[in-house]
């Protein structure tokens, strides 16, 4: 993908930073590549013996997961300390895009096929690092809605889909005005569909043009039973 970007005269959406040992970093350079790091880490973990680590810099604090043989584990570690121990220091915490500071992204998920108690148990069994009470669980006619007061649910939607492979999770990430709008459709811990506005033609995961038959952010949110106003509560 990096080579394809360069061939078309575009800035690569990911930058490879060589480490001093066996580990190297692949750093996202485009905020619209939401969720791509999970798929990259999962795929690489199937090819190598060592754990592959994924650090989500869109969260505060940064969230860390470890992948081995395609299986995710949420880690309660300091990402910078981990990176240094692997011989691969991280870039600055300052985000390169001014648009992110003007339009903070918030995340909520809708999970079909699970009730609140089962989801809570799955997160607990996975060693989820967030403290009790961080998440807000709501059983709705559409499914289990998962959110938080901070606007950050970390990897909870991925963890639930990994631990409960029969469910389908829709992780929605959007800016307050819905100008940036992404939906990751997850099953078995894997992204099986990625909806993006603005659209992308270089996604690392399968792109879809609609969610539940809808194409606009407002109608997609309505189909998932997620109030659009939730993203505007900064």
89 vs 2, more confident: 89
* 23 and 124, same domain (yes or no): no
- The per-residue pLDDT for 98 is 43
* 65 and 103, same domain (yes or no): no
In a domain, 92, yes or no: no
* 164 and 199, same domain (yes or no): yes
* 198 and 163, same domain (yes or no): yes
Closest to 161 in 3D by CA, of 37, 228, 57, 72: 72
The string of DSSP letters for 156-167 reads HHHHHHHH-TT-
Cβ neighbours of 98 (radius 10 Å): 8
* 46 and 118, same domain (yes or no): no
Provide the number of structural domains found in the chain: 2
* 178 and 74, same domain (yes or no): no
- The per-residue pLDDT for 221 is 97
* 30 and 131, same domain (yes or no): no
* 45 and 120, same domain (yes or no): no
Answer with the one of 55, 85, 115 that is the final residue of a domain: 85
Answer with the one of 18, 50, 85 that is the final residue of a domain: 85
Cβ neighbours of 199 (radius 10 Å): 10
Mean pLDDT of the chain: 81
In a domain, 93, yes or no: no
Q: What's the rounded Cα separation, in Å, for the pair 192 and 92?
A: 31
Q: Is the pLDDT of residue 9 over 90?
A: no
- The per-residue pLDDT for 28 is 66
- The per-residue pLDDT for 127 is 81
pTM (two decimals)? 0.70
Answer with the one of 61, 85, 109 that is the final residue of a domain: 85
81 vs 104, more confident: 81
16 vs 182, more confident: 182
* 143 and 28, same domain (yes or no): no
Mean pLDDT, residues 103-129 taken together? 89
């809808």: which residue's tokens? 214
Q: What's the rounded Cα separation, in Å, for the pair 103 and 206?
A: 26
* 119 and 219, same domain (yes or no): yes
- The per-residue pLDDT for 1 is 42
Full residue range of the structural domain in which residue 60 is found: 2-85
* 18 and 68, same domain (yes or no): yes
């Amino acid at each position: 993908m990096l080579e394809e970007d360069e061939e078309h005269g575009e800035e690569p959406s990911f930058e490879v930073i060589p480490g001093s040992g066996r580990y190297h970093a692949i750093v996202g350079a485009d905020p619209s590549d939401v969720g791509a790091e999970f798929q990259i880490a999962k795929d690489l973990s199937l090819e190598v013996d060592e754990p592959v680590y994924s650090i989500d810099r869109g969260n505060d604090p940064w969230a860390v997961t470890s992948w081995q043989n395609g299986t995710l584990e949420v880690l309660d570690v300091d990402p910078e300390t981990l990176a240094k121990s692997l011989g691969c220091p991280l870039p600055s915490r300052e985000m390169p895009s001014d648009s992110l500071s003007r339009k903070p992204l918030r995340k909520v998920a809708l999970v079909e096929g699970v009730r609140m108690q089962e989801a809570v148990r799955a997160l607990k069994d996975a060693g989820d690092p967030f403290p009790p009470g961080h998440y807000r669980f709501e059983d709705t006619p559409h499914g289990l809605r998962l959110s938080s007061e901070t606007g950050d649910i970390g990897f909870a939607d991925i963890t639930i889909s990994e631990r409960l492979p029969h469910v389908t999770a829709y992780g929605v990430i959007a800016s307050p005005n819905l100008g940036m709008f992404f939906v990751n459709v997850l099953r078995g811990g894997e992204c099986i569909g990625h909806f993006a506005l603005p659209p992308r033609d270089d996604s690392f995961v399968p792109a879809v043009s609609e969610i539940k038959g809808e194409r606009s952010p407002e109608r997609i949110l309505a189909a998932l039973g997620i109030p659009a106003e939730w993203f505007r509560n900064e």
